[in-house]
Amino acid sequence: MRILVLGSGGREHSIIWKLSLDERINEIISFSDNYGISQLSNNLKTENDDLNSIVKQIISLSPDLVIVGPEEPLSEGITNLLTEKNIKCFGPSKEASRIESSKIFSKKLMMENNIPTSYAEFFSNFDKAKNYCLTKGYKNIVIKADGLAAGKGVFLPNSEEELITILDDIMNKHKLGNSGKSILIEDRIYGKEVSVFCFTDGVNFSKPIAICDYKRVQDNDIGPNTGGMGCYTPPEFWSIDLEDSIIENIIVPTINAMREKKSTFQGMLYTGIMMTKDGPKVIEYNCRFGDPECELIMPMFEGNILDVFMDIANSKLKNNSVKWKNKKGLCVVICSGGYPEKYNKELEINGIKDLEEKIICFHSGTKMKNNKIVTNGGRVLVLSNIDDSINACRENIYSQIEKISFKDSFYRKDIGLRAVKND
């Protein structure tokens, strides 16, 4: 079989790594200069980066399956264009991807279907948005841009002055472009966060996997938000009763509501949930694997994941076809100095080959230059480990991580620490 994976980060490297273990696959194709991906796939150059050119190139390759990693091409309708040409895809349609690409669409979906979430109002006028925020109070609100903003569209103001600046930047100065044309203002809720991932073909769905990630750049959750600095599974507060409650009150109603809107969701449903004093509430949906969560999902998956991808592409996901290892997992992201702001690229990376075999090293932002592996992004490498306890995973990774070196590299040292005492 010939499989094409679209995307070039750690998420896609982990998917390709998992697929590479399946002897039925003859060739994996990618469009990436990511060094880790290049070692496991046939890397092709794209003639042009626009969607239609990529679709045309994919069609010419006649893959048996296309797996779409990033949210941008999904929101632009790449699976629609490919399925029209009888190319099987893993990933939701343009209509279904609105669950991530439009926060207003997804919030209305929740509110209309009694899916537990925080109350929100929607605005496209600066003065009305400002007056509403000032009435509610800056401590009680979250401001979200409607469209995709590469993880930079959610704001928690710390003062009235900051609140007004945020609204001005989004709505008047258009710093987020069309993504900020409309906004929603939510009631702020508090609690522990968890990401819940579930495969679905739009009717049937898999047993979910729950993962806790770390967005802030520094230890103790200090500093600006990032794409993710690490994560672990399962959460220390996870239970069968909690899982059943989330399935009954969130996952099933979401899948059903999308189908009723003629936007059947097929792919990986990623639900961000806040564990409030009133129970689990949805913060947001995503229409794809998370990153670095995917770098745990793939090692935690039991068996050949190709079967699940194909079943979903054929709208035939079987009950109980997804099994997760009875283990615990953790990953840590190694970053370039300055991330998530300005950082240098093309710094030589040393030590990857010195890691023990039990550590899986996924490449997020690397490439080969002059026969050397060099940095090519803010998040550079992800070290993952599966073991019998969170503490063991931590010890395994942190005992090895110092073998990796490049100028100004850094990583968080507290990933999974809060779960150890409950291990």
Judged against a pLDDT cut of 90, whether residue 162 lies above it is answered with: yes
For 112-118, what is the mean pLDDT?
97
Q: Residues with Cβ < 8 Å from 173, sequence gap 6 or more?
A: none
Report the domain count for the chain.
4
- Same domain as 207, residue 180: no
- Same domain as 32, residue 152: no
343 domain-assigned? yes
Query: Helices (H) and strands (E) in the chain — how many of each?
Result: 15, 23
- Same domain as 250, residue 214: yes
Q: Which residue segment(s) compose the domain that 126 sits in?
A: 119-187
Judged against a pLDDT cut of 60, whether residue 423 lies above it is answered with: no
Residue 187 and residue 141 in contact, taking contact as beta carbons nearer than 8 Å: yes
In angstroms, the first-to-last Cα distance of the chain is: 41
Residue 293 and residue 212: Cα distance in Å, rounded? 8
Secondary element (H or E) of residue 196: strand 192-200
50 domain-assigned? yes
DSSP 207: P
* Whole-number pLDDT of residue 422: 61
pLDDT tens-digit map of 76-96: 999 999 999 999 999 999 999
Helix axes 252-260, 94-101, angle to 10 degrees: 130
- Same domain as 378, residue 254: no
- Same domain as 217, residue 161: no
- Same domain as 336, residue 309: no
Q: Given 128, 157, 187, which residue is the final one in a domain?
A: 187
- Same domain as 194, residue 179: no
DSSP string for 209-257: EEEEE--EEEGGGEEEE-S-SEEEES-TT--HHHHHHHIIIIIHHHHHH
DSSP strand pairing (65-68 vs 301-302): unpaired
Percent of the chain with pLDDT over 70: 100
- Same domain as 300, residue 341: no
**Phi-psi label, residue 74: left if phi above 0, alpha if psi -120 to 50, beta otherwise:** alpha
Q: Residues with Cβ < 8 Å from 292, sequence gap 6 or more?
A: 10, 11, 213, 228, 230, 231, 331, 333, 362, 364, 379, 382
Q: Given 48, 77, 94, which residue is the final one in a domain?
A: 94
Number of Cβ within a 10 Å radius of residue 324 = 16
- Same domain as 243, residue 134: no
Q: What angle do CA 161, 167, 172 make, to 5 degrees?
A: 120
Judged against a pLDDT cut of 80, whether residue 128 lies above it is answered with: yes
110 domain-assigned? no
Q: How far is CA 336 from CA 147, 217, 249, in A?
A: 28, 11, 40
pTM strictly above 0.85:
yes
Q: Report residue 337 CA to chain centroid gap.
A: 22
164 domain-assigned? yes
113 domain-assigned? no
Query: Which residue in 13, 61, 14, 55 sits closest to 38, CA to CA?
Result: 13
17 domain-assigned? yes
CATH of the domain at 150: 3.30.1490.20
pLDDT tens-digit map of 241-293: 999 999 999 999 999 999 999 999 999 999 999 999 999 999 999 999 999 99
- Same domain as 357, residue 304: no
